[in-house]
A and B are shown apart, each in its own frame.
Chain A
């Protein structure tokens, strides 16, 4: 499955991508993470705060580093 992390390369955006990678590794799920740093694409998703997470075509989270449990729930 593909997960997009939206954010212009800020520290929290990186932390979010790293967390998803780690959780994916723990669960053994095959996840590709796509870091979207281009502002035009980011605002195209309609988010106003970053980092935001897109699973499929849905924005599932925005404005903060998600929790471990949240990431788990997206992977399942």
Chain B
């Protein structure tokens, strides 16, 4: 993505045009964002249903949350796209190579948030890091934090559940990545990599032919816009489906049902949430609207967070991809350690809130 923007530029506009457009966009965004509640009430009023009936509640929920989430997502994904243009996997590798564990785990978890990452590149990335001398545990910190603490999850949590929960998720997502990576490092499981991976030491020293282009601020804006376009293409359907489901739960599920099944008193609900989350494979966009609706019906925050982390961080398809580089034993340890971390977060939250 870093290269295709510099070559095709038919009629270059001056830089100030871009900066002004950005300011105008953010201002317009803010004005529209403030009007979302009247908008949703207006749309709900168009339906021939009683506003305070179940159906009315569900419709209002849907028409408030969909535009709200879409708008938040646009802004946050754009901002992250611009920030990420300052990072690259190669740069991350250079920063992490030779770092000691501990400091390395913290840095890796942070860089996992910042580095452009797609799960389809997980294997070459993993090998690139390990073969460059990044310790295994530090590599895991990166690999856990990259999918778990992502801007889509944060934008949706912020929009649907509130900034406190979003911030908490952010902090504890990083925490799980740091601690789980550190534990895996302490176990010294380098021997449990697939044989061929241990023998590779080539990638690290290969000179980087595609590096060397300097990005301007406008290029970075373009990358941000590109990120918005790409992520929307991937998640818009999930958001609508997820919020649709959430709206149904919101309107029709009895108030205390979830409190009984997923409330803080049911001790078994946290492990159950983690186990159920593993085979479920959806992205944050699909699961968070449901999470919000469950919270509204009395499910405990810790249980719901554990479910969310498990769905996002421990997914079967990702494990199948990682099977190419990790032995089954190592994958089992990975699931065990990350799962325990998520459990701990779940219980801690149920205890605190």
The answer on A and B forming one complex is yes
CB contacts (< 8 Å) of B8 on chain A: these are 67-69
- B:1-37 near A, CB below 8 Å: 1-5, 7-8
Residues from chain B with Cβ under 8 Å of A69 in the complex = 4, 7-8
Q: How far is the CB of A62 from chain B (nearest CB, A)?
A: 6
Q: Are B124 and A43 in contact (CB under 8 A)?
A: yes
Within 8 A of B (CB), among A13-42: 39-40, 42
Please tell me the size bucket of the interface on B: 20 to 34
| Interface residue B204 (Cβ < 8 Å from any Cβ of A) | yes
- Near A by CB (< 8 A), chain B positions 168-198 give 196
Taking CB atoms, residues of chain B closer than 8 Å to A70 are 3-4, 7
Contact status B90-A67, CB under 8 Å: no
Residues of B within 8 A of A49 (CB): 89, 116, 118, 121, 124-125
Contact B120 A48 (CB under 8 A): no
Specify which of B121, B131, B324 is in contact with A63 (CB 8 Å cutoff): B121
Q: Is the Cβ of B3 less than 8 Å from the Cβ of A50?
A: no
CB distance B120 to A61 under 8 Å? Answer: no
For the complex, what is the distance from the CA of A58 to the CA of B208, rounded to whole Å? 9
- A10 CA / B206 CA spacing, docked (Å): 24
B200 at the interface (CB under 8 A from A): yes
Whether the Cβ atoms of B124 and A47 lie closer than 8 Å is: yes
Within 8 A of A (CB), among B106-135: 116, 118, 120-121, 123-125, 127-129, 131
Give Cα A46–Cα B200 distance, bound, in whole angstroms.
Answer: 10
CB distance from B256 to the nearest CB of A (A): 44
Which B residue's beta carbon lies closest to that of A58? Answer: B209
User: Closest CB of chain B to A46's CB: distance in Å?
Assistant: 3
B202 in contact (CB, < 8 A):
yes
Residues of A with C-beta under 8 A to B205: 46
Known contacts: A10-B120, A40-B196, A48-B93. The answer to whether A67 contacts B128 by CB under 8 A is no
In the complex, the answer to whether B204 meets A61 with C-beta atoms within 8 Å is: no
Using known A-B contacts A63-B2, A64-B2, determine if residue A46 contacts B128 with beta carbons closer than 8 Å: yes
Chain A min CB distance to B232 (Å): 16
Q: Given A10-B120, A40-B196, A73-B7, are A46 and B204 also a contact pair (CB < 8 Å)?
A: yes
Chain A residues engaging chain B, CB cutoff 8 angstroms:
7-8, 10, 12, 39-40, 42-50, 58-70, 73
Give the A-binding residues of B (Cβ under 8 A): 1-5, 7-8, 89-90, 93, 116, 118, 120-121, 123-125, 127-129, 131, 196, 200, 202-206, 208-210, 324-325
